[in-house]
Each structure stands twice: as structure tokens, then as C-alpha cells.
Amino acid sequence: MSRSYEPLTLEDLRQLGKLAKTDRGNLFDRRPETGNLYRNRLFAVALCQGAALHFLDGKNGIKDFDVWSFYTEAPERPFPYRRNTSMDFGDPKFGISEDAPHFVGRRVDMLGRSLKGADPAAPVDSLRRYLSQKATSTAFYLAQKAVILIEPEDLLGYVVWPITARK
């Protein structure tokens, strides 16, 4: 699959955040039981994996965008971990995804996880703990590349992972 080497900006992260918000609203409307449990438990939204690494180094390139919404885990049940839906970035500046030629822009995969013991007041620490413990296959794979915050808004563009990276 071809990659885009166009630089990612904070405005691009904001666009990804808008898409994530729309996706969450759609999910919670379609699945009210999930909405009732998780609508008020969101503590972070992040760009992860290859596109996040590209945000840092400008060299990795972008095949697609992986946007993760992280929630504090509800006592009743975890967030549906298999949920993965795709959306259109909506702007052709990064080209199109070859596996989604009907999209105007690159494919954006929307995923989510609930984390036990996450502190909504400390999203960076909560995510770093999750990534460094690598207790799940998701945490292991996300820790292989990069994690850049989209929400909360006051931390837009903050590098969660790798810890040593600076932007």
C-alpha cells in the first residue's frame, strides 16, 4: 500500500478528533447500552501506530490513520474491544487508501479500549502505564510505534509514547 509523506499538522489532528467524536456519537446512538456505560467515561483520544510515528519523524509515511478512544472501564463490562470501523478523512491531501478507493481521503480506523484504573485527570500517565505494562496484545502493538494525543484538547499533539520522543 502506498504511503503519504505529507506532514501531519495540529489541524489534521483536530480533524481526526472531529471524526472520532462523530464516530462515538454514532456508536452510542446505535448501541444505547454501550452509550449508557461509556458516554461519560472517555478520558483520551489518540492517533496511534504508523501515522503517529509519521507525526513525530516525518519519515514513516501514512498508510492509514488509527484513532483510538480510551475510556475508564465501567464495572459492568469492558468497552467492546473488537469494535473497529472505518471513516473517510475527507480531504485528499494525504492521498487515498488503495483498499478504500470510494473515500475522498485516507482511511481512518476508529478503535477503542477501556482501561481498568485509568485516571481521567491524568490521561498521559494512564496511557503510559497501559503501554509500558504491555499486559494486552493491543498495548504491546501500540507501544511498538507512537501515540499522540488528540483529546483532551489542551494536550493536542502531546507525545504520550515513546516517552523519550519530543515534538
My answer on whether omega of the bond before 78 falls inside 30° of 0, hence cis, is: no
Domain tally, the chain: 1
- Domain containing 42 equals 10-161
**Residue 2 is assigned to a structural domain of this protein:** no
In a domain, residue 5? The reply is no
Closest C-alpha to 14, from 166, 159, 161, 151: 151
Task: Give the C-alpha separation, 162 to 65, whole Å.
Answer: 18
One digit per residue, the tens of pLDDT, for the chain of length 167 reads: 699 999 999 999 999 999 999 999 999 999 999 999 999 999 999 999 999 999 999 999 999 999 999 999 999 999 998 889 999 999 999 998 888 889 999 999 999 999 999 999 999 999 999 999 988 899 999 999 999 999 999 999 999 999 875 55
107 occurs within a structural domain:
yes
Q: At a CB cut-off of 8 Å and minimum separation 6, what does 139 contact?
A: 130, 131, 133
Enter the pTM of the model: 0.94
